[in-house]
Chains A and B, each alone.
Chain A
Amino acid sequence: MAQVTLSRITKRYPGSETAAVDDVSLTIPKGSFTTLLGPSGCGKSSTLRIVAGLSRPDYGVLQMDGRDITHLSAARRNIGMVFQSLALFPHMTVAENVAFGLEMRGIGRSERETKVARALDIVELGHLAARHPHQLSGGQQQRVALARALVVEPSILILDEPFSALDRKLRETMQIELYRITRDLGITAMFVTHDQEEALTLSDSIVVMNQGRIEQQGTPREIYGAPRTRFTAEFMGLSNFLPARCNNRALSFEGLTTEMPAAFEAEGNCTVALRPEGLSLSSTRPEGAALKGHLAEAIYQGASTSYTLDLPSGRRITARTTDCGLLPGQEAWIAWTPEALHAFAA
């Protein structure tokens, strides 16, 4: 296992105005599971390919345990990579697929067989060693790809949206499996996804990327609980953005003044966001800070009901809460839990 450091990595593709990766500096500590999260085209996959050695940066330095590997061939970086398409060798059996990396390292047959058997045990596929990839289910193919990457005892495990082709249920199973395996083996991992739930489930550290740059980096709790920019907030499922002013930690919006939440920093013009799941509605004025609105729409969704409210300013707010019995056309008071209120500059 190794620590990987990116310093000022920049990559521009020919014919493109903007850089795919723009001055990215980042450390992936030994044994940590770090996820690059962002929409398609944000530079997360380009960054990952640079770390893997499949693409060369135009500028910047890549280090592994302090050693400069910027120009080292991918074949010599000792990485294990799981591809989006899985890239299992179709003409080889499961065991041959897993053994490939060991063979390339010149490891003898008997040691190879022991290691392959152990790797297949870890992913619980020992009984399918003689099959070919096309004879396996999607989830089983996934595990073979993981075993093939793990068997070489890589310095870093790199995963490029490996679960994007799986259905929701299987994806969740594989996420839990990957979490268990990486934590059991203490693996340094770099994971790329556009799915925020997946990132929150798996990661020790999340790096949110936007237009080739790092938007925010932190633990899942920090990223979800205290997004620092509107982009991160939107990407983490926040909505209900309202213009606000902050003056010495007094936060004013929609004619209301309340205290700035401790996790946030802003001064002057800023934006407030109210997490729809943290709102509650009532027909009478609750204690503490609350906004009054006109209930425009109520959509029953089973576990929760989605309410749309018009504020006196004309702005709309969505609240997702348990059914409160209010009907469209009625006036409602909107209150929130302390964690539901977010604020960030501009």
Chain B
Amino acid sequence: MSTYFSLFRRTGTAALFVFLLAPLVAVIIVSVNAGATPKFPPEGFSLRWYGAALANPAFTGSALTSLVLAAVATALGTPLGVAAAFGIARGKLPSSLRGLLEAIFLSPLIVPGIVIGVALLVTLSTAGLRDAWLRLTLGHVLLVMPYVIRTSLAALQSFDPSLEEAAHTLGASRRQILTRVTLPVLRPAIFAGAAFGFIISFDDAAVSIFLIDSSTSTLPLAIMSYMQYNFDPSIAAVSSMLIAITLAGALVIERVFGLKKFLGN
């Protein structure tokens, strides 16, 4: 019976992998299509659509925007998230308030992006903030923060308080304890949250679509808008490049920190 079960389980696992990976493989195959339309199976091999994608200023400009935006949002959201996690975990708060604060800070994970986008659009317009960069930065800080808070909070909750006491008895001041012991011990968790936040920001379309203007767009939105008027494999080429970059990033994280820690174990 166990062999049947094992066979069943293996088939199921294989099917799941095919389901997850087949679309990605299909995109990569389509991207090297020599023909003018994204057809499957492809009509011969060519890298011409990679060239076309890289020569298209709508893609390169928006890719740069997305990268800078994700970097700025992560740089701002990470310290804010860490500080919020410290407040929630260490502040002298009644436990009901602690739970409420945690729920509010983590709410961008649950509230649909489109709702956040609309809400930000209305609020920022009322406040008179019309600059696309400023609006996108504010919106993306909101996207990054909950990931940093979640990983930092988990690390703080399993943090051994005697580490700080040990540093204190050895003569460290509060500031030295924070910079030499607490933050270094939390570093992998903070980095994991920041990396996650970066990817989420880079990938976001739902929030950004309400915050861009005619001259500033992000890469996911550029892909969407290109697809409305054109139908050629350069989209597949852009997607394949994104897959490659993401994979490389994941490999780096795995080598440096271990993906398990990154995904919250």
Q: Is B89 an interface residue, CB under 8 A from the partner?
A: no
Q: Which residues in chain A, 83-142, are within 8 Å of chain B measured between CB atoms?
A: 83-85, 87, 89-91, 100-101, 104-105
Whether A104 and B172, one on each chain, are in contact in the complex, defined by CB atoms closer than 8 angstroms, is yes
Q: Answer whether residue A20 sits at the interface, using C-beta atoms and an 8 A cutoff.
A: no
Tell whether, in the assembled complex, residue A54 and residue B165 are in contact, meaning their CB atoms are under 8 Å apart: yes
Q: Which of A75, A85, A90, A105 contacts B185 (CB 8 A)?
A: A90
B185 / chain A contacts, CB cutoff of 8 Å: 89-91
- Inter-chain contacts of B167 with A (CB < 8 A): 89, 100, 104
Q: Mark B49-62, 1 if CB is under 8 A from A, else 0.
A: 00000000000000
Contacts of B95 in A (CB 8 A): none
Give the complex CA separation of A48 and B176 in angstroms.
24
* Interchain CA distance A158-B162 in the complex, whole Å: 14
Partner of A87, one of B166, B176, B184: B166
B163 touches A89 (CB 8 A): yes
Answer yes or no: A74 CB below 8 A from chain B CBs. yes
Within 8 A of B (CB), among A43-93: 52-54, 73-77, 79-81, 83-85, 87, 89-91
Identify which of A54, A85, A89, A152 contacts B171 (C-beta below 8 A): A152
The reply to whether A105 and B166 contact each other, CB–CB distance below 8 Å, is no
**Neighbour of A104 across the interface among B160, B165, B170, B184, CB < 8 A:** B170
Please tell me if A342 contacts chain B, counting CB pairs below 8 Å. no
- In Å, the complex CA distance between A53 and B165 comes to 10
Residues of A within 8 A of B187 (CB): 91
Q: Is A143 an interface residue (CB 8 A)?
A: no
- Tell whether A230 is near chain B: CB-to-CB under 8 Å: no
A320 within 8 A of B: no
Q: Tell me how far the C-beta of A91 lies from the nearest C-beta in chain B, rounded to whole angstroms.
A: 5
In the bound assembly, the distance between CA atoms of A87 and B162 in angstroms comes to 6
Whether B171 and A105, one on each chain, are in contact in the complex, defined by CB atoms closer than 8 angstroms, is yes
Contact with A along B203-229 (1 / 0, CB 8 A): 000000000000000000000000000
| Minimum CB–CB distance for A55 against chain B, Å | 10
Among A76, A77, A87, A101, point to the contact of B165 (Cβ < 8 A).
A87
Question: Is A148 interfacial (CB 8 A cutoff)?
Answer: yes
- What is the interface size of chain A, counting residues whose CB is below 8 A from a CB of the partner? 25
| Among B166, B170, B176: residue with most chain A CB under 10 A | B170
Contact indicator B162/A74 (Cβ below 8 Å): no
Cα distance A83–B184 in the bound complex, in angstroms: 20
* A100 cross-chain contacts in B, Cβ below 8 A: 167, 170, 172, 180
CA of A54 to CA of B168, assembled, Å: 9
- CB pair A89–B169 under 8 Å, yes or no, is no
Known pairs A91-B184, A91-B185, A91-B187; A75 contacts B169 (CB<8 A): yes
Residues of chain B within 8 A (CB-CB) of A74 are: 165, 168-169
| Cα distance, A101 to B160, chains bound together (Å) | 19
CB contacts (< 8 Å) of B184 on chain A: these are: 89, 91
Which B-chain residue is minimally distant from A53 (CB atoms)?
B169
Q: Are B176 and A104 in contact (CB under 8 A)?
A: yes
Complex CA distance for A230 and B172, rounded to whole angstroms = 44
CB closest residue in chain B, given A91? B184
> In whole Å, how far is B44's beta carbon from the nearest beta carbon of chain A?
54
Determine which residue in A74, A105, A152 has the highest number of CB atoms from chain B within 10 A of its CB, and name it: A74
Distance from A309 Cβ to chain B, minimum over Cβ atoms (Å):
48
- State A79–B187 Cα separation when bound (angstroms): 29
Closest Cβ of chain B to A147, distance in Å, is 12
Complex contacts, A54 vs chain B, CB 8 Å: 165, 168-169
Q: Are A101 and B168 in contact (CB under 8 A)?
A: no
Specify which of B165, B173, B181 is in contact with A83 (CB 8 Å cutoff). B165
Q: Are B162 and A75 in contact (CB under 8 A)?
A: no
Is A85's CB under 8 angstroms from B169's CB?
no
- The contact of A81 among B169, B173, B176, by CB within 8 Å, is B169
Distance of A85 Cα from B170 Cα, bound (Å): 16
Closest to A90 in B: B185
B183 to chain A, nearest CB (A): 10
Complex-state Cα separation, A89 to B185, whole angstroms? 8
**4 pairs of A and B residues whose beta carbons are closest in the complex:** A104-B171, A101-B170, A87-B166, A87-B162
Please name 13 pairs of A and B residues whose Cβ atoms are closer than 8 Å in the assembled complex, sorted by A. A54-B169, A73-B168, A83-B162, A85-B160, A85-B162, A87-B166, A89-B163, A89-B167, A89-B185, A91-B185, A104-B170, A105-B171, A158-B169
